[in-house]
Amino acid sequence: MKKKNTVGQVTRHRVREAIQAMIVSGRQPVGSKLAQKALAKQFNVAQSVVREALLELLPLGLVEAIDNRGMFVSELTVERLLESYDVREVHEGLVARLCCERITRAQVRELVDTAEESYRQSREKKFDEMAALDAKLHRRLLEIAGHRILLRMADMCLIFGKIINVSRPPMAVRDEHLGVLTAIGQGQTGEAERLMRQHISNGKKAIQEQVAQGKFVLKWVVPRTMSH
């Protein structure tokens, strides 16, 4: 029975990730209906699997349920994005603190390399690749923190973190990443949390400034294979 349940979870996860990718890539437009029967046929699974996958996407804010009409792709809004940064600031500050107690030297080097590679991609104007590496770094810290509840709660904010484009000076972002990683590597829990919270807050401020200037455009960043 346990094996059957595990297989079912893997299938549901696969379907959920596929639907999520369809939404993020724009192949399933905002406001479009997510027809369970058609999706079940597309993925060659039972309709109940699709229904469960869609229910898992509800709290992530990617889909919404409309009474007697079904499930639809949610609208992207700046307000929702900014709210996700508020939550990320708290969550990822705690993640940085937890990593101080768990991280290895090899993992610090791995993350420093990721931060540096993200910066190199930005200098080559490969902004999608840069964003994917940025997401990879933050996701890796979540994994190292080893807090399952935090990891699950962070899913929604990480998804909204794929909205492009927060135009910040790439060197400033790299320096912030390296500052956080240095504090984590040295076990400075308070400083690591402070620097991470400041890093997330700076991202939010950049969005607010761009919105005020009429320069911010909501657009999904489609993750490359290097992302989480």
Contact assessment for residue 57 and residue 16, using Cβ atoms and an 8 Å cutoff? yes
Asked whether the predicted pLDDT for residue 180 surpasses 50, the reply is: yes
For residue 70, the model assigns a pLDDT of 92
Residue 227 lies in a domain: no
Separation between Cα atoms, residue 81 and residue 28, nearest integer Å = 19
Is the pLDDT higher at 224 or at 155? 155
Q: Of 73, 101, 118, which closes a domain?
A: 73
Are residues 41 and 116 both part of a single domain? no
In order of 55, 83, 139, 170, 195, the CA distances from 131 in angstroms are 28, 20, 12, 11, 20
Is the pLDDT higher at 9 or at 207? 207
pLDDT tens per residue across span 2-36: 444 556 678 988 999 899 888 877 788 888 999 99
For residue 164, the model assigns a pLDDT of 52
Asked whether the predicted pLDDT for residue 67 surpasses 80, the reply is: yes
Residue 94 lies in a domain: yes
List the CATH number of the domain containing 62. 1.10.10.10
Q: In the chain, what percentage of residues exceed pLDDT 70?
A: 87
For residue 163, the model assigns a pLDDT of 54
Q: Of 73, 99, 119, which closes a domain?
A: 73
List the CATH number of the domain containing 87. 1.20.120.530
Q: In the chain, what percentage of residues exceed pLDDT 90?
A: 53
For residue 159, the model assigns a pLDDT of 65
Are residues 40 and 100 both part of a single domain? no
pLDDT tens per residue across span 114-172: 999 999 999 998 987 888 899 899 989 999 999 888 877 776 666 665 555 567 899 99
Contact assessment for residue 160 and residue 57, using Cβ atoms and an 8 Å cutoff? no
Residue 155 lies in a domain: yes
For residue 225, the model assigns a pLDDT of 36
Contact assessment for residue 191 and residue 183, using Cβ atoms and an 8 Å cutoff? yes
pLDDT tens per residue across span 75-101: 777 887 888 889 889 999 999 999 999
The domain in which residue 64 lies consists of 2-73
For residue 154, the model assigns a pLDDT of 73
Query: Whole-prediction pTM value?
Result: 0.76
Separation between Cα atoms, residue 141 and residue 160, nearest integer Å = 17
- Give the DSSP per-residue string, the chain: -HHHHHHHHHHHHHHHHHHHHHHHHTSS-TT-B--HHHHHHHHTS-HHHHHHHHHHHGGGTSEEEETTTEEEEPPP-HHHHHHHHHHHHHHHHHHHHHHHHH--HHHHHHHHHHHHHHHHHHHTT-HHHHHHHHHHHHHHHHHHHT-HHHHHHHHHHHHHTTEE-----HHHHHHHHHHHHHHHHTT-HHHHHHHHHHHHHHHHHHHHHHHHTT----EEPPP-TT--
Are residues 106 and 21 both part of a single domain? no
Question: Residue 74's pLDDT band (boundaries 50, 70, 90)?
Answer: confident
Contact assessment for residue 39 and residue 19, using Cβ atoms and an 8 Å cutoff? yes
Asked whether the predicted pLDDT for residue 56 surpasses 90, the reply is: no
State residue 71 phi and psi, 5-degree precision. Answer: -105, 140
For residue 158, the model assigns a pLDDT of 64
Are residues 7 and 83 both part of a single domain? no
Are residues 58 and 106 both part of a single domain? no
Are residues 158 and 54 both part of a single domain? no
Q: Extract the tokens encoding 118.
A: 């993200």
Are residues 119 and 69 both part of a single domain? no
Domain count, the chain: 2
